[in-house]
Structure 1
Amino acid sequence: MTRQPHDQFAKQYLTELLTPHGQVQISREITSEVRQVDIWFLPTPSSSTPLQVLGLLGQMVSTACLVEPFRNAIGYMAVRNCLLKLFALYGDLQRKARREKNSVSETDLPCLWILSPSCSTKLLNGFGAKLDDSGNWVEGVYFLPELFKTALVAINQLPLTEETLWLRVLGRNRTQTQAINELVALPVGHPLRGNILEILANWRIKIEESEDLTEDERELIMNLSPAYLRWREETLEQGREQGREQGREQGREQGREQGREQGREQGNLEGQRLMVENLLAGRFGSIDLELSQTIEPLMQLPITERTQVLLNLSRQELLERFRKSLSD
């Protein structure tokens, strides 16, 4: 599996978590040979949401930093390429300071966090990466020598606590499965739960649309299934509840007896319509004019057939299925 789907997911995922706390730039370009860092983060001192809600991730991004998440275990050259990006950025900052007749202090330089599902002992030893002995950092966070301002996070070694949850979601195999199950089990009112479930569900949908799935992609689909199923269940329930509420409101306006009957019918229709719209948006990112014209024909299908069509047909198959209806 290429890194592109994971890059897209990881950037969206980390942006969702970090945006309330500061400025996030996606794919920031660095001069010289053009390089892009996955996440460049500048915390906002006056953020209304404390970074503590992100646990270990919040501790990591309490100062300006680069974040490079990897889907597969990182190798030597990948670490070196990350360091090249960091040093290129230092060069940019130094040149800017010179133009403005200022200087750059060590405390002004951002640090680099490399997130890997695992790190081999040989790699850690080769880069001189060591655990922190001050007690400020948990197991699994390895720091390169001080002046590199870089740390490797071996996600599979992080303790299984709520503090590390948001990083363990980016892991693999049992580490990721455990984290997603913990995420699903969070209270419905948790400030991060709903949006992250939706991001994970959309990631699964995009992977499932691929042809000739690799073993890694099949593993991902399995890992992401609990989040997808819970998101779908809650989205359907939300649609039904909104439909019922709209129906009750109309029922009150139209009279008790007649209103209750019409309200139930209208509420059911509105709930089903919202379910169709949410599933279309979840699968295809947005509902354009062509997709919007499939909503009414979809509503005419029995609910079991409708759900199968929405979950299994590609965009093109969906449009072809209802082409006659769209042209009438």
Structure 2
Amino acid sequence: MITSKFTKAHLAHLPTPFELMPNMTKKFKGPNLYIKRDDATGLAFGGNKVRQLEYYVGHAMDQNADALLTTGAVQSNHVRQTVAAARKMGWHVEVQLEHRVDTHAKEYSESGNPYLNKLMGAVIHNFDVGEDELGADKAMYDRAEELKVQGYNPYVIPLSATDKTPWGSLGYVECIEELCHQASESKTQIDAIILGSGSANTHAGVLAGLIALDMNIPVYGFCVRRDGIAQTERVEIKTRKVLTLLGIDETKLTPGMVMCADWVLAPGYGLPSSEVVDAIHTTAFEEGILLDPTYTGKAMAGMLGMIKDGKFNDNDNIVFLHTGGTPSLFGYPELVAGK
């Protein structure tokens, strides 16, 4: 395994399924639509952050940590899974909720992920500035210093692009190795991978994994928080860091390999457009697969838009990376209003 030299906590149910979406394939007539079910990683409703946390927690174990801290949006899947990982490890956990989405709806602030964080007993802090990654990370590092005084050995999982080592991306290097093995076993040639691109840990890990395996598969990332130019730069920075971590020449990330589209981003982070809502309903109806409004719904809307625009050839095998997010659906009751 490419990542075998790194310490890893075993938190996820792996391998996750790789399967055809037959009804979606039939409906949209053209490419074969496959899905990598990383919503099924198991820990506290699963999701992509579990793979990432296996390596963050592994690095924390190397430092004899006994407390985890992180920050994220009110309906953050990363925050929920960090709390669950800490509970599984028997560690203290504190999380910070950033108010990024302009809503005062009770369901958004109390249902879904926030409810689960409370259920698992996390210490919760609030950060009222919604778009200040560096400030949000600093608040957690400051809190970590306070916990040291209390006798803890805390480990902070930052979200900003300035993170020196994106340990979590190693989880998606591993995922790509797993996916390529599954595709080989089923004799499926993968022609493209589709994913939502936010913190960029998943996107960077996927690219680094493909480079490590010398696989020339295009990866299309759909922006969920920032515009395409800013997201492309972020993914490039993190991918180079992951390649360096793996001992691979970072120049193997060549111009054009990072593709980030922002046309499904509007009206903003955590706010779904009509196209995103349609994609969520279509996937639920056709396959019984649940997507969320922040990440996977936008990525699916992006993929369906590409299909409608003729971006793929008939019989191409397109893999949609389902990164989870199911609990956040409960914060958006308006998605089924009037149904």
* Shorter-chain TM band: under 0.3
Q: Which structure carries more helix by proportion?
A: 1
Q: Which has the larger radius of gyration?
A: 1
Structure 2-normalised TM-score?
Answer: 0.27
Structure 1-normalised TM-score?
Answer: 0.28
Say which structure, 1 or 2, has more relative contact order (CA 8 Å, 6+ apart).
2
